[in-house]
Amino acid sequence: MIFSEKAALITGASRGIGRAIAVEFAALGANLALVGRDVAALGETKASCEQACAGAAVEIFEGDVTDQGAMERIVNETVARFGRLDFAIANAGQSIDGLLLRLKAETIQHVFDVNLKSAFYLCGAVARPMMKQRSGSIVLMTSIVGLMGNAGQAVYAASKAGLMGLCKSLAKELGSRNIRVNAVAPGLIETAMTESMPDAAREFLVKQAALGRAGKPEDVSGVVAFLCSDAAGFITGQTLVVDGGILM
């Protein structure tokens, strides 16, 4: 897997899985566009990428992934900077838990905006340059919660399940232009998002995993790199579960 002279755009690149993906792609030689709202954290990701590959070309874009115009601007600037766009990773996401009867309308809207609508905006923006160059790979970060559901996470589960439907539909729409679309569904991964989980819930998931442990962001980033690589050149419309064996 060599990504030299390739360009990748990653949303939610400030920390956790997004940062691990960025570092992985930098180590493989890719030019990077890092998107997020925390500029300081994006700077830390950029530094990690440059450490992974001396001379890595890394651009930071502060932007709201739920703003369609902002995403189109960032994609256009990325193409102008690197001359092409080969990979797009829709990693931005948020979980606000709550029982259905207690969920407020604004909470539902916010989670769907961040987790699902933002992916629509990103895919719509990157499809244009990818169609023009007749190549590209899009990876949507979903979750095993979108496959199995979870009490107290109805909105999160529904938004992540929606990404899998988007993945299949776009794979059929864009396949004739040699653009592949896949999704990755992580299980319990040690990130800032999962730090606030109750100990009992964490222990339950670890016990359910055949490997008997939580995953690390690097367990996911390598899979994303594989899906973008030529080694996965005949894979599209698929959701690859990375959960240590919870959903077997």
Res 200: pLDDT:
80
Write the DSSP string, 10-79: EESTTSHHHHHHHHHHHHTT-EEEEEES-HHHHHHHHHHHHHHSTT--EEEEE--TT-HHHHHHHHHHHH
Residues labelled catalytic: 156
Spatial separation of the C-alpha atoms in residues 124 and 120, rounded to whole Å: 6
DSSP state of 229: S
Query: Six-digit token pair at 71?
Result: 């995403």
Task: Compute the distance between CA of residue 161 and CA of residue 146 in angstroms, rounded to an integer.
Answer: 4
Reported as a single tens digit per residue, the pLDDT across 67-78 is: 999 999 999 999
Segment 96-126, tens digit of pLDDT: 889 999 999 999 999 999 999 999 999 999 9
Mean pLDDT of the chain: 95
Cα 183 from Cα 220, distance rounded (Å): 11
**Cβ–Cβ < 8 Å for 66, 90:** no
Which pLDDT belongs to residue 244?
Answer: 97
Residue 176: how many other CB atoms lie within 10 Å: 9
Q: What is the pLDDT of residue 197?
A: 75
Are 8 and 89 within 8 A, CB to CB? yes
Residue 54: phi, psi to the nearest 5?
-60, 130
Complete domains list, the chain, with CATH: 7-242 (3.40.50.720)
